[in-house]
Amino acid sequence: MQAKVTIGFKAGVLDPEARAIQRSLQGLGFAEVEGLRKYKVIELDLAMTDRDAAIARARDMCEKLLANPVIESYTIDLVD
């Protein structure tokens, strides 16, 4: 089973990298870029068949390693 974890900053948390990318784009002439957000996506191949268990395990991975729960939020989608 495949799980897709999307991790981004919580609303209200400044993302300095996204800000820098937007400024660089504008400096390169892409003035039409009015906003920019950046996410990480991690696709996990899981040797599991139970959907509820897979989501619970992926959530556990987020809390323990993949995300920083202080400033980041995450969503988990099962692909299979």
Place of tokens 């268990």: 53
Q: Which of 43, 56, 75, 80 binds its own copies (CB under 8 A)?
A: 43
Enumerate residues 49-78 that contact its own copies by CB under 8 A. Answer: 57, 60-61, 64-66
Place of tokens 């696709």: 43
Structure letter (DSSP) for residue 54: H
State the distance between the two ends of the chain, measured CA to CA, in whole angstroms.
5
Q: Does the footprint of its own copies cover residue 6 (CB under 8 A)? A: yes
Enumerate residues 17-36 that contact its own copies by CB under 8 A. Answer: 18, 21, 24-25, 28, 30, 32-36
